[in-house]
Chains A and B, each alone.
Chain A
Amino acid sequence: MKIDYHALGLKVGLECHQQLATHGKLFCNCKPHLFKGEPEIIFLRRLRPTQSELGQVDPAAFFEFQKGMKILYEADAETSCLVEMDEEPPHELNREALDISLTIALMMNAKPVDEIYVMRKIVIDGSNTTGFQRTCVVAVDGSINVDGKNVPIQHICLEEDAARKMGEEGFLIRYRIDRLGIPLVEITTGPVIYTPEEAERVALAIGKILRSTKRVKRGIGTIRQDLNISIRDGALVEIKGVQELELISKVVEYEVQRQLNLLRMRDELRRRDLRENELKERFVDVTPVFRETQCQILQRAISQGKTILAVKLPKLAGLLGFELAPGLRFGGELADRARFWGRVGGILHTDELKSYGVSDKEISELRRSAGAGEEDAVVIVADKIENASDALKAVVERVREAINGVPEETRAANPDGTTRYMRPRPGAARMYPETDVPPIKITEEHLERLRAQLPEPPGDKIKRLMSSYGLNEKLARQLLDMEYDDLFEVAVKETNVTPTVVAATLTETFKALKREGVKIENLAEEQIVEIFKIVGLEKTSKESIPEIVRWLTKHEGSNPMEAIKELGLMMVSEEELKSLIEEYLDKNKDLIAEKKLGALGALMGIIMKDLRGKAKPELVNKILREKLAERLSG
């Protein structure tokens, strides 16, 4: 089915978060890496929601605090110091990160602010040891051109990345603070994207500009997209943490489907005349109903001493299995809420009980206990009674929201493009100044210096590579994508190797080697240029490059000349080649006698098999042709 997104009033805004490749973190000098293995340092904290002047606290946060939520932080000494532990005030803002973010801002035609103020944005899920994220606007009011359309860039912010969540056991969350404090830029577009596919193209264009600075991190997890999605009559839903570019259009499509189906569900509930006041937080202990059950989930729960609580959802029979998006039923939305607010494993409901081995007798007994008729649904939860009751409260609340359509919420992206409930959308921005970091003036001289060294915009660069070096568009694009465009130009300038050979080596050859598992990233740029140099000087042939690269990555600190000596890939001189070819001709007299000039191809094959990498095929061919002709005529 083709969906007319314009007709649906789809609006998407992007928030693109990209880690910067700096030497230290944003507010201290720790290594901006992640560590593997066991932590050297652990500590336990609680975060207390602070009240705004309006006396408001984030309800989700306050709920978690009241529940006694504790956070166990893990660290190692290389990637974290007292700053990440919130045991020492932040140091000054990392100037390297500031320059990169200003460079990005200038490339996006944004206006740097005159004076930067670092702010604290309250986040108390534990992902920041302080309870807030440090963030600052470095520029406003920019725009980028995406396939002829002007896309406004509202803000460019520089901020610290959050800690990594490692696990959750009941009311204890584990975070690793190695990622905390790694500098990020956040690029926020206006909500002017009108199709899923356009969202992807805008993200791609932003990514290209970011990478053209050569100062951003690469690899999984280093770039994350948040999407703000709404349709007419739907609601603004924020989807966090889309890591794969290719997933963006899918996430948008699924979210549109989800909102459309929630609107259908709203209409159905109205048709069934469900009123808010019919939804009651009346929970019944139905444990006795399942004493003899064959349902394994419930058996186990009962044997662990858990209570099974039930709630009637009036007029919802058959609707809990209603599919909202691929793999997501309305029952799944209820379960997400139950898990979040009650920390329970999940829920079961009357639309699906049978498939879990619950007998008809038990179902009718359950309906009777919950006071539910055939037109009603019943949801059950097995857990400690207070958790179960928190979970069911959340279920009832979610159904209440369904009467009005789509609730505003923050969702997290799954790797398959579907999403799950994360938390309610935070209220009005809760920001106040980070008084421990002094404001930073951005002077015109500073900006001039950055403007003078601005990277070439990716589109311009592709065109120039094509026209100046005769590359085709595919090669030029690949060079940019792999960030070898600068190295390419150096290698071409400093060596006699043709641009196409350099480009093909840096892209196709290197890609093939990477697929083999060769660690190309361990090669220094000087080493790569040196390889091209000796190829240009005909000390070895271009066919030897893969072997030289393999050898160099295994022999740290060595140079390409050593490689070709070690590997026996030195080119033979023309004189040597001539006498070698004479030998081959002697050895293959019969073949020559039989095929005459037609032996050329076969001889070429035999010789090149032995001399690959040591002699240029063109030269071998030339000498062979001459010698063969000599012999046949003589």
Chain B
Amino acid sequence: MSERLPGYRGLALKMLLEAGADIGDLIRVVKDNVVLEGILIPRSEYSDDKHVVIKGRSGYNIGVEVTPTTIVERVRTELKPLFVPPPPPEQRTGLPKVTILSTGGTIASRVDYRTGAVRPVISASDLYSIVPELSDIAVIDAEILFSIFSEDLTPKHWSAMARAVANHISRGVDGVVVTHGTDTMGYSAAALSFALQKLPVPVVFVGAQRSEDRPSSDAPMNLIGAVYAASRAPFAEVTVAMHETPSDEAIIIHRGTKVRKCHTSRRDAFKTVNSKPLARIVSNKIFILANNYQPRDLERKIILRPEFDERAALIKFYPGMNPKIIDWYVSEGFRGIVLEGTGLGHVRRECFPAIKGAIDAGVIVAMTSQCIWGRVNMNVYSNGRDLLSIGVIPLGDMLAETALVKMMWCLAQSKSIDEAKNLLITNIANEFSERTVEHAEPPKFSMG
């Protein structure tokens, strides 16, 4: 692999190096009496070492196989187009201040049309030039925290996010937006819901299901909705802002502890589970859907509890699950286990001794349901009653993912097991709802 010629190896790399060609150069490939000219394009690192990729004058890329008799020549160095962002729109004065913290993902990126590479967008002025509407909503301050895929984030990143958000809030902003890859955005939103208490202003996570380089991207509208909520919403909670339907009509604001990515690719992948979403934004108007929120109050002092203990695990039960799996976690020193049981909160009886062993060893074991929708109730069947008597803690209608995050947080915040257990069943950030009413049934994926 070559730094100068990304993706090229073997024969192709050798011929390109001999020709003195760089990415972006106009090159000529002569092969079997066919002459092909085009700009040299980087190659995917998983591709073979026999092809050279060029972009012809029509804009199309093609791959040309090279053999020892192929001639590769550099014609000339093409001027590398220098990107000059259009001047940012004039900033309106007297607007609320919003910080945008970026952690990676597809919300803000730009395509290099010469090579096709997608690059993250860095500065606030870049953001303004891509989504000029933002300058009518708020004065934006942008900071890049990380630039990583959301599946590579760890609880340490949640801590760093929480600290950064608290830091910006203490400097006096009217709201914070966190841009995030969508895969684990639900986990991070739950984590910050616990880590940032007594928030004076909203913290709004936002992502995109279609990358920003395409005209149909949901990123600009999601971002506008998030900045709008951060700057003007009456609530001061950790939330997620995404499309409500496949249509570019409404942004829905979910609570950080109740939200889950429920579809691999749709714009409306995020759903509030077992509750109502907090608000809806349509054409820059906020409609509140749940009234039990913590109101915005700039005087309130934020409490930062950013620590998470990673020695907790989420185990999805399945028919025939080997109880040794549980034993392994105990022997590895895990301090908390969240079970994703069947139905109302069950696992097979074969697992009971292992669970009892874990609890006896001082591990907190809690129960959620793999049904996703509904709450666990372990009093209905004897299996559940027996698990309760062993000491498994039922977690009501809490999402399994939120329960894992909360377990990590409780373990880090408590001096004793009992204290941690108590914290686990205390409603901190609306992760529990007392009642489940009809409208909070599994939402249909509406078609617009």
Contact = CB atoms under 8 A, between A and B. Distances in A.
Interface of A: 41-55, 70, 82, 85-89, 111, 113-117, 119-122, 124, 129-132, 135-137, 140-141, 155, 157, 428-433, 435, 439, 441
Nearest to B216: A131
In which size bucket is the chain B interface? 35 or more
Interface in B209-225: 209-210, 212-217, 220-221
A129 B447 contact: no
Given A42-B447, A120-B214, 12 more contacts: A41-B448, A43-B247, A43-B448, A50-B215, A52-B111, A53-B81, A53-B111, A124-B215, A131-B216, A137-B60, A140-B36, A157-B60
B150 interface: no
A528 to B, nearest CB: 43
A89 B84 CA distance: 31
Contacts of A85: 246
A50 B214 CA distance: 7
Nearest to B34: A111
Nearest to A154: B58
B112 A48 contact: no
25 contacts: A43-B245, A43-B247, A45-B248, A50-B212, A50-B214, A51-B86, A52-B111, A52-B113, A53-B83, A54-B81, A54-B83, A54-B84, A55-B86, A85-B246, A87-B209, A87-B265, A113-B64, A114-B62, A114-B65, A115-B62, A115-B65, A129-B216, A131-B214, A428-B59, A430-B113
A153 to B, nearest CB: 13
B333 interface: no
B120 to A, nearest CB: 14
Nearest to A57: B86
A122 B214 CA distance: 8
Contacts of A430: 59, 113
A51 B129 contact: yes
A130 B216 contact: yes
Given A44-B247, A51-B110, A432-B116, A117 B216 contact: no
Contacts of B362: none
A157 B53 CA distance: 17
Contacts of B18: none
A119 B60 contact: yes
Nearest to B213: A50
Nearest to A83: B265
Nearest to A120: B214
B353 interface: no
A433 B93 CA distance: 41
Given A87-B266, A88-B266, A117 B63 contact: yes
Interface of B: 34, 36, 41, 44, 47-48, 51, 53, 55-56, 58-65, 81, 83-86, 110-114, 116, 118, 129-130, 209-210, 212-217, 220-221, 245-249, 264-267, 447-448
Given A43-B246, A431-B113, A122 B215 contact: yes
A521 to B, nearest CB: 34
B265 A439 contact: no
A86 B216 contact: yes
Contacts of B84: 54-55
A119 B62 CA distance: 10
B446 to A, nearest CB: 9
Contact of A115 (B64, B113, B129): B64
Nearest to A139: B62
Nearest to B118: A435
Contacts of A432: 111-113, 116, 213
A521 B45 CA distance: 50
Contacts of A132: 214-215
Contacts of B114: 53
Closest 10 CB pairs of A and B: A115-B63, A131-B215, A429-B59, A43-B448, A431-B59, A114-B65, A117-B61, A433-B116, A44-B247, A113-B62
A51 B130 contact: yes
A505 to B, nearest CB: 46
B113 A121 contact: no
Nearest to A433: B116
A108 B247 CA distance: 44
A45 B220 CA distance: 12
Contact of A155 (B58, B113, B220): B58
A205 B111 CA distance: 40
B448 A55 contact: no
A43 B447 contact: yes
B85 A48 contact: no
B280 to A, nearest CB: 15
B216 A53 contact: no
Nearest to A118: B61
A465 B104 CA distance: 66
Contact of A44 (B48, B51, B56, B248): B248
Contacts of B130: 51
Nearest to B249: A44
Contact of A88 (B60, B213, B265): B265
B255 to A, nearest CB: 24
Given A52-B113, A55-B84, A89 B265 contact: yes
A45 B249 CA distance: 8
A630 B83 CA distance: 104
Nearest to A439: B63
A120 B61 CA distance: 10
A132 B129 CA distance: 21
Contact of A53 (B61, B112, B245, B248): B112
Contacts of B64: 113-115
A47 B215 CA distance: 5
A325 B145 CA distance: 62
B349 to A, nearest CB: 41
A32 B208 CA distance: 30
A163 to B, nearest CB: 12
Nearest to B114: A53
B62 A86 contact: no
A48 B34 contact: no
A136 B63 CA distance: 11
B63 A86 contact: no
Contacts of B48: 441
A402 to B, nearest CB: 30
B50 to A, nearest CB: 8
A119 B113 CA distance: 11
Contacts of A131: 214-216
Contacts of B110: 51, 53
Contact of A47 (B62, B216, B267): B216
Contacts of B116: 432-433, 435
B352 to A, nearest CB: 42
A439 to B, nearest CB: 6
Contacts of B58: 137, 155, 429
B37 to A, nearest CB: 11
Contacts of A119: 59-61
Contacts of B56: 137
A120 B246 CA distance: 22
A121 B448 contact: no
A89 B267 CA distance: 12
Contacts of A431: 55, 59-61, 113
Nearest to A438: B44
Contacts of B447: 41-43
Contacts of B59: 119, 121, 428-431
A401 B39 CA distance: 34
A87 B62 contact: no
- Residue of B34, B36, B216, B267 with most partner-chain A CB within 10 A: B216
Contacts of B86: 51, 55
A130 B48 CA distance: 30
A70 B247 CA distance: 10
A111 B31 CA distance: 12
Nearest to B448: A43
Nearest to B44: A439
A141 B51 CA distance: 19
Nearest to B210: A86
Given A45-B247, A111-B34, A116 B62 contact: yes
A47 B247 CA distance: 12
